[in-house]
Structure 1
Amino acid sequence: MPDLAYYASLPRSRGAAAALLLDDLGRVLLVKPTYSEGWFLPGGVIETDESPLAACVRECREELGLVPRLDGLVCVDWGSPRDDGVDSVNVFVFGGAISDAELAAIRLPPDELSDHVLVAPEKIPELSPAHVSRRMEPSLRALADGRPVYLEDGREPAFGAAGRPAG
Protein backbone atom coordinates (compact mmCIF):
# COMPACT_ATOMS: atom_id res chain seq x y z
CA MET A 1 0.00 0.00 0.00
CA PRO A 2 1.48 3.42 -0.92
CA ASP A 3 2.41 5.83 1.84
CA LEU A 4 -0.24 8.48 1.12
CA ALA A 5 1.13 10.88 3.74
CA TYR A 6 4.52 10.77 2.02
CA TYR A 7 3.02 11.51 -1.40
CA ALA A 8 0.89 14.30 0.06
CA SER A 9 4.04 15.90 1.47
CA LEU A 10 5.82 16.08 -1.90
CA PRO A 11 6.02 19.37 -3.78
CA ARG A 12 3.44 19.98 -6.45
CA SER A 13 4.15 21.71 -9.71
CA ARG A 14 2.06 23.94 -11.89
CA GLY A 15 1.48 23.19 -15.52
CA ALA A 16 0.13 24.88 -18.60
CA ALA A 17 -0.56 23.70 -22.13
CA ALA A 18 -0.69 25.71 -25.35
CA ALA A 19 -1.32 25.17 -29.05
CA LEU A 20 1.20 26.44 -31.59
CA LEU A 21 -1.06 26.62 -34.64
CA LEU A 22 0.21 27.57 -38.09
CA ASP A 23 -1.78 28.49 -41.16
CA ASP A 24 -0.79 27.50 -44.71
CA LEU A 25 1.53 30.53 -44.92
CA GLY A 26 3.42 29.65 -41.73
CA ARG A 27 1.80 32.38 -39.63
CA VAL A 28 1.15 31.72 -35.95
CA LEU A 29 -2.27 32.11 -34.33
CA LEU A 30 -2.18 34.35 -31.25
CA VAL A 31 -4.99 35.41 -28.93
CA LYS A 32 -5.36 38.57 -26.82
CA PRO A 33 -6.52 38.01 -23.23
CA THR A 34 -8.73 40.61 -21.59
CA TYR A 35 -6.94 40.11 -18.26
CA SER A 36 -3.30 40.45 -19.35
CA GLU A 37 -1.06 42.56 -21.58
CA GLY A 38 0.21 41.08 -24.84
CA TRP A 39 -0.66 38.23 -27.18
CA PHE A 40 -0.45 34.53 -26.31
CA LEU A 41 -0.84 31.11 -27.85
CA PRO A 42 -4.25 29.58 -27.19
CA GLY A 43 -3.98 27.56 -24.00
CA GLY A 44 -4.00 27.72 -20.25
CA VAL A 45 -3.61 25.98 -16.93
CA ILE A 46 -3.64 22.20 -16.63
CA GLU A 47 -6.43 21.32 -14.22
CA THR A 48 -6.15 18.75 -11.42
CA ASP A 49 -6.00 15.20 -12.83
CA GLU A 50 -5.89 16.50 -16.42
CA SER A 51 -3.15 15.54 -18.86
CA PRO A 52 -1.28 18.27 -20.76
CA LEU A 53 -2.85 17.16 -24.06
CA ALA A 54 -6.36 17.08 -22.59
CA ALA A 55 -5.76 20.60 -21.22
CA CYS A 56 -4.62 21.85 -24.63
CA VAL A 57 -7.69 20.37 -26.34
CA ARG A 58 -10.03 21.77 -23.66
CA GLU A 59 -8.44 25.22 -23.81
CA CYS A 60 -8.69 25.34 -27.61
CA ARG A 61 -12.36 24.35 -27.40
CA GLU A 62 -13.02 27.01 -24.74
CA GLU A 63 -10.94 29.80 -26.29
CA LEU A 64 -11.44 29.22 -30.00
CA GLY A 65 -14.74 27.37 -30.10
CA LEU A 66 -13.09 24.49 -31.97
CA VAL A 67 -10.42 21.83 -31.64
CA PRO A 68 -7.78 22.21 -34.35
CA ARG A 69 -5.63 19.37 -35.65
CA LEU A 70 -2.75 18.81 -33.26
CA ASP A 71 0.24 16.88 -34.58
CA GLY A 72 2.13 16.29 -31.34
CA LEU A 73 4.28 17.75 -28.62
CA VAL A 74 6.84 20.29 -29.84
CA CYS A 75 8.16 21.77 -26.60
CA VAL A 76 8.34 21.41 -22.84
CA ASP A 77 9.56 24.64 -21.24
CA TRP A 78 10.29 24.78 -17.53
CA GLY A 79 9.80 28.34 -16.37
CA SER A 80 11.55 29.36 -13.17
CA PRO A 81 9.71 31.41 -10.54
CA ARG A 82 9.29 35.00 -11.70
CA ASP A 83 10.00 38.22 -9.81
CA ASP A 84 6.30 39.13 -10.01
CA GLY A 85 5.36 36.23 -7.72
CA VAL A 86 4.41 33.67 -10.37
CA ASP A 87 5.58 30.16 -9.36
CA SER A 88 7.64 27.88 -11.56
CA VAL A 89 5.67 26.12 -14.28
CA ASN A 90 6.04 23.37 -16.86
CA VAL A 91 4.59 24.53 -20.17
CA PHE A 92 3.70 21.91 -22.77
CA VAL A 93 3.37 23.24 -26.33
CA PHE A 94 1.58 21.11 -28.91
CA GLY A 95 2.00 21.91 -32.60
CA GLY A 96 -0.65 21.80 -35.25
CA ALA A 97 -2.34 23.50 -38.14
CA ILE A 98 -5.34 25.73 -38.54
CA SER A 99 -7.25 25.95 -41.82
CA ASP A 100 -8.96 28.96 -43.35
CA ALA A 101 -12.34 27.37 -42.55
CA GLU A 102 -11.33 26.93 -38.90
CA LEU A 103 -10.08 30.52 -38.74
CA ALA A 104 -13.45 31.74 -40.00
CA ALA A 105 -15.20 29.59 -37.37
CA ILE A 106 -13.26 30.94 -34.36
CA ARG A 107 -15.57 32.17 -31.59
CA LEU A 108 -13.71 33.88 -28.75
CA PRO A 109 -15.18 34.00 -25.24
CA PRO A 110 -15.64 37.79 -24.81
CA ASP A 111 -15.01 37.73 -21.06
CA GLU A 112 -11.61 36.08 -21.61
CA LEU A 113 -10.28 36.99 -25.07
CA SER A 114 -10.73 40.18 -27.06
CA ASP A 115 -9.09 39.30 -30.38
CA HIS A 116 -7.06 36.83 -32.41
CA VAL A 117 -4.48 37.38 -35.12
CA LEU A 118 -2.17 35.50 -37.45
CA VAL A 119 1.40 36.79 -37.33
CA ALA A 120 4.70 36.02 -38.97
CA PRO A 121 6.93 34.24 -36.44
CA GLU A 122 9.48 37.06 -36.40
CA LYS A 123 6.79 39.49 -35.14
CA ILE A 124 5.98 37.46 -32.00
CA PRO A 125 8.64 39.13 -29.77
CA GLU A 126 7.05 42.51 -30.55
CA LEU A 127 3.60 41.30 -29.48
CA SER A 128 4.05 38.69 -26.76
CA PRO A 129 5.50 38.90 -23.25
CA ALA A 130 9.08 37.63 -22.93
CA HIS A 131 8.03 34.50 -21.02
CA VAL A 132 5.87 33.55 -24.02
CA SER A 133 7.98 34.70 -26.96
CA ARG A 134 11.18 33.10 -25.64
CA ARG A 135 9.99 29.60 -26.55
CA MET A 136 8.66 30.43 -30.03
CA GLU A 137 11.80 30.02 -32.15
CA PRO A 138 12.79 26.68 -30.57
CA SER A 139 9.17 25.47 -30.74
CA LEU A 140 8.83 26.40 -34.41
CA ARG A 141 12.13 24.68 -35.19
CA ALA A 142 10.98 21.57 -33.28
CA LEU A 143 7.68 21.58 -35.18
CA ALA A 144 9.53 21.74 -38.51
CA ASP A 145 12.03 19.04 -37.44
CA GLY A 146 9.36 16.75 -36.01
CA ARG A 147 11.39 16.43 -32.80
CA PRO A 148 10.28 17.98 -29.48
CA VAL A 149 12.61 20.32 -27.66
CA TYR A 150 13.22 20.69 -23.92
CA LEU A 151 13.79 24.22 -22.62
CA GLU A 152 14.52 25.90 -19.32
CA ASP A 153 13.33 29.50 -19.27
CA GLY A 154 13.10 29.36 -23.05
CA ARG A 155 16.66 28.17 -23.61
CA GLU A 156 17.99 24.77 -24.53
CA PRO A 157 20.28 23.55 -21.74
CA ALA A 158 23.74 22.34 -22.73
CA PHE A 159 24.00 18.60 -22.28
CA GLY A 160 27.41 17.13 -21.51
CA ALA A 161 28.71 13.56 -21.44
CA ALA A 162 26.17 10.75 -21.09
CA GLY A 163 23.26 13.17 -21.55
CA ARG A 164 23.78 14.93 -18.22
CA PRO A 165 23.16 18.67 -18.13
CA ALA A 166 26.50 20.48 -18.30
CA GLY A 167 27.52 22.84 -15.55
Structure 2
Amino acid sequence: MPDLAYYASLPRARGAAAALLLDDLGRVLLVKPTYSEGWTLPGGVIEADESPLAACVRECEEEIGLVPRLHGLACVDWGPPRADGVDAVNVFVFGGTITGEEIAAIRLPPDELSDHILVAPEKIPELAPPHVARRMDPSLRAMAAGRAVYLEDGRERPFGNGLSAAHA
Protein backbone atom coordinates (compact mmCIF):
# COMPACT_ATOMS: atom_id res chain seq x y z
CA MET A 1 0.00 0.00 0.00
CA PRO A 2 1.45 3.41 -0.93
CA ASP A 3 2.51 5.84 1.77
CA LEU A 4 -0.03 8.60 1.06
CA ALA A 5 1.58 11.03 3.52
CA TYR A 6 4.88 10.68 1.67
CA TYR A 7 3.27 11.35 -1.72
CA ALA A 8 1.35 14.31 -0.29
CA SER A 9 4.65 15.80 0.92
CA LEU A 10 6.28 15.74 -2.53
CA PRO A 11 6.53 18.94 -4.58
CA ARG A 12 3.86 19.50 -7.17
CA ALA A 13 4.50 20.87 -10.65
CA ARG A 14 2.36 23.34 -12.53
CA GLY A 15 1.56 22.47 -16.10
CA ALA A 16 0.17 24.16 -19.18
CA ALA A 17 -0.70 22.96 -22.66
CA ALA A 18 -0.97 24.89 -25.92
CA ALA A 19 -1.73 24.29 -29.59
CA LEU A 20 0.71 25.46 -32.25
CA LEU A 21 -1.68 25.56 -35.21
CA LEU A 22 -0.47 26.32 -38.74
CA ASP A 23 -2.56 27.27 -41.75
CA ASP A 24 -1.76 26.13 -45.29
CA LEU A 25 0.63 29.09 -45.72
CA GLY A 26 2.62 28.16 -42.60
CA ARG A 27 1.23 31.03 -40.52
CA VAL A 28 0.71 30.52 -36.78
CA LEU A 29 -2.60 31.14 -35.02
CA LEU A 30 -2.18 33.49 -32.06
CA VAL A 31 -4.79 34.76 -29.62
CA LYS A 32 -4.85 38.00 -27.60
CA PRO A 33 -5.65 37.51 -23.89
CA THR A 34 -7.61 40.24 -22.13
CA TYR A 35 -5.75 39.64 -18.85
CA SER A 36 -2.12 40.01 -20.01
CA GLU A 37 0.12 41.73 -22.55
CA GLY A 38 1.05 40.23 -25.89
CA TRP A 39 -0.25 37.41 -28.05
CA THR A 40 -0.03 33.72 -27.26
CA LEU A 41 -0.99 30.28 -28.50
CA PRO A 42 -4.42 28.91 -27.66
CA GLY A 43 -4.11 26.88 -24.48
CA GLY A 44 -3.91 27.12 -20.74
CA VAL A 45 -3.43 25.45 -17.40
CA ILE A 46 -3.62 21.68 -17.01
CA GLU A 47 -6.29 21.02 -14.41
CA ALA A 48 -6.12 18.40 -11.66
CA ASP A 49 -6.47 14.86 -13.02
CA GLU A 50 -6.23 16.11 -16.63
CA SER A 51 -3.62 14.99 -19.14
CA PRO A 52 -1.66 17.61 -21.12
CA LEU A 53 -3.37 16.53 -24.36
CA ALA A 54 -6.84 16.68 -22.79
CA ALA A 55 -6.04 20.16 -21.44
CA CYS A 56 -4.91 21.35 -24.88
CA VAL A 57 -8.08 20.08 -26.55
CA ARG A 58 -10.32 21.50 -23.79
CA GLU A 59 -8.62 24.90 -23.83
CA CYS A 60 -8.88 25.15 -27.63
CA GLU A 61 -12.54 24.26 -27.50
CA GLU A 62 -13.10 26.91 -24.80
CA GLU A 63 -10.90 29.60 -26.37
CA ILE A 64 -11.42 29.29 -30.13
CA GLY A 65 -14.57 27.22 -30.28
CA LEU A 66 -13.14 24.18 -32.03
CA VAL A 67 -11.24 20.98 -31.40
CA PRO A 68 -8.03 21.28 -33.40
CA ARG A 69 -6.49 18.58 -35.58
CA LEU A 70 -3.34 17.86 -33.62
CA HIS A 71 -0.52 15.83 -35.15
CA GLY A 72 1.53 15.20 -32.04
CA LEU A 73 3.70 16.67 -29.37
CA ALA A 74 6.04 19.37 -30.69
CA CYS A 75 7.70 20.57 -27.50
CA VAL A 76 8.01 20.24 -23.75
CA ASP A 77 9.48 23.38 -22.21
CA TRP A 78 10.39 23.55 -18.52
CA GLY A 79 10.17 27.10 -17.22
CA PRO A 80 12.07 27.79 -14.00
CA PRO A 81 10.58 29.61 -11.03
CA ARG A 82 10.47 33.36 -11.64
CA ALA A 83 11.72 36.16 -9.39
CA ASP A 84 8.15 37.48 -9.09
CA GLY A 85 7.07 34.32 -7.24
CA VAL A 86 5.57 32.35 -10.14
CA ASP A 87 6.38 28.65 -9.73
CA ALA A 88 8.20 26.49 -12.26
CA VAL A 89 6.01 25.13 -15.06
CA ASN A 90 6.07 22.34 -17.62
CA VAL A 91 4.56 23.53 -20.91
CA PHE A 92 3.41 20.97 -23.49
CA VAL A 93 3.03 22.31 -27.04
CA PHE A 94 1.06 20.17 -29.48
CA GLY A 95 1.41 20.83 -33.20
CA GLY A 96 -1.45 20.80 -35.65
CA THR A 97 -3.14 22.45 -38.60
CA ILE A 98 -6.10 24.74 -39.08
CA THR A 99 -8.09 25.31 -42.27
CA GLY A 100 -9.50 28.54 -43.64
CA GLU A 101 -13.00 27.28 -42.85
CA GLU A 102 -12.00 26.64 -39.23
CA ILE A 103 -10.37 30.06 -38.96
CA ALA A 104 -13.58 31.69 -40.19
CA ALA A 105 -15.55 29.76 -37.55
CA ILE A 106 -13.38 30.85 -34.58
CA ARG A 107 -15.43 32.21 -31.69
CA LEU A 108 -13.54 33.84 -28.83
CA PRO A 109 -14.81 34.15 -25.24
CA PRO A 110 -14.89 37.98 -24.87
CA ASP A 111 -14.03 37.90 -21.16
CA GLU A 112 -10.80 35.96 -21.88
CA LEU A 113 -9.66 36.74 -25.45
CA SER A 114 -10.07 39.91 -27.48
CA ASP A 115 -8.72 38.88 -30.90
CA HIS A 116 -6.95 36.26 -33.01
CA ILE A 117 -4.49 36.54 -35.90
CA LEU A 118 -2.48 34.42 -38.28
CA VAL A 119 1.13 35.50 -38.32
CA ALA A 120 4.32 34.49 -40.09
CA PRO A 121 6.60 32.68 -37.63
CA GLU A 122 9.31 35.35 -37.89
CA LYS A 123 6.84 37.98 -36.54
CA ILE A 124 6.08 36.07 -33.32
CA PRO A 125 8.93 37.67 -31.28
CA GLU A 126 7.41 41.10 -32.02
CA LEU A 127 4.00 40.04 -30.72
CA ALA A 128 4.39 37.37 -28.06
CA PRO A 129 5.92 37.69 -24.60
CA PRO A 130 9.48 36.31 -24.40
CA HIS A 131 8.44 33.19 -22.46
CA VAL A 132 6.12 32.27 -25.35
CA ALA A 133 8.25 33.46 -28.27
CA ARG A 134 11.37 31.59 -27.12
CA ARG A 135 9.86 28.17 -27.78
CA MET A 136 8.40 28.92 -31.22
CA ASP A 137 11.44 28.29 -33.45
CA PRO A 138 12.39 24.99 -31.77
CA SER A 139 8.74 23.87 -31.81
CA LEU A 140 8.30 24.71 -35.49
CA ARG A 141 11.53 22.89 -36.40
CA ALA A 142 10.42 19.87 -34.39
CA MET A 143 7.01 19.85 -36.11
CA ALA A 144 8.67 19.97 -39.52
CA ALA A 145 10.94 17.07 -38.55
CA GLY A 146 8.07 15.03 -37.12
CA ARG A 147 9.60 14.84 -33.66
CA ALA A 148 9.29 16.53 -30.29
CA VAL A 149 11.91 18.77 -28.73
CA TYR A 150 12.78 19.18 -25.04
CA LEU A 151 13.58 22.70 -23.82
CA GLU A 152 14.61 24.23 -20.52
CA ASP A 153 13.67 27.88 -20.27
CA GLY A 154 13.27 27.96 -24.04
CA ARG A 155 16.69 26.47 -24.81
CA GLU A 156 17.11 23.09 -26.43
CA ARG A 157 18.92 20.61 -24.20
CA PRO A 158 21.41 18.49 -26.14
CA PHE A 159 21.75 14.84 -25.28
CA GLY A 160 24.70 12.67 -26.18
CA ASN A 161 28.42 13.43 -26.25
CA GLY A 162 28.52 12.85 -22.52
CA LEU A 163 25.99 15.57 -21.74
CA SER A 164 22.73 14.62 -20.14
CA ALA A 165 19.93 16.69 -18.66
CA ALA A 166 21.16 15.64 -15.21
CA HIS A 167 24.44 17.49 -15.87
CA ALA A 168 22.80 20.72 -16.99
TM-score using structure 1 length: 0.97
- Of the structure 1 ranges 76-85 and 37-46, higher mean CA displacement relative to structure 2 is found in 76-85
d(CA) in 2 for partners of 1:147 and 1:163?
20
5 Å-filtered alignment, 1:1-167, equals 1-161=1-161, 164-165=164-165, 166-167=167-168
Counterpart Cα distance in 1 of 2:68 and 2:80:
30
Give the fraction of aligned pairs with identical amino acids, expressed as a percent.
81
Deviations 1:3-29 (A, max 9, x none): 100100000000000000000000000
Alpha-carbon distance in structure 2 between the residues aligned to 1:71 and 1:163: 30
| Worse overlay, 157-166 or 90-99 | 157-166
Gaps of 5+ in 1: none
TM-aligned CA deviation for residue 117 of structure 1? 0.2
Aligned to 2:155, the other structure's residue is in SS state coil
In 1, Cα distance between equivalents of 2:123 and 2:76 = 22
Q: Distance in 1 between matches of 2:134 and 2:2?
A: 40
List alignment gaps of at least 5 residues for structure 2.
Answer: none
Runs (4 or more) in structure 1 with deviation over 3 Å come to: 160-163
Q: 2:118 & 2:74 partners in 1: Cα distance?
A: 19
Matched AA of 1:17: A
Query: For 1:96, what is the secondary structure of its paired residue?
Result: strand
Residue identity in the other structure for 1:66: L
Q: Deviations along 1:130-151, whole A, 9 cap, x unmatched? A: 0000000000000000010000
Task: Decide which moves more: 80-89 or 95-104.
Answer: 80-89
The amino acid that maps onto 2:49 is D
Q: How far, CA to CA, are the matches of 1:60 and 1:160 in structure 2?
A: 36
Distance in 1, matches of 2:51 and 2:135, equals 21
Matched AA of 1:114: S
Q: CA deviation at 1:86?
A: 1.3
Tell me how far apart the structure 1 counterparts of residues 24 and 68 of structure 2 sit (CA, whole Å). Answer: 14
Paired residue secondary structure (1:159): coil
In structure 1, what is the Cα distance between the partners aligned to 2:124 and 2:136? 8
Look up the SS of the partner of 1:138 in the other structure: helix
- In structure 1, what is the Cα distance between the partners aligned to 2:162 and 2:10? 28
Deviation at 1:157, TM superposition (A): 1.8
Number of equivalences: 167
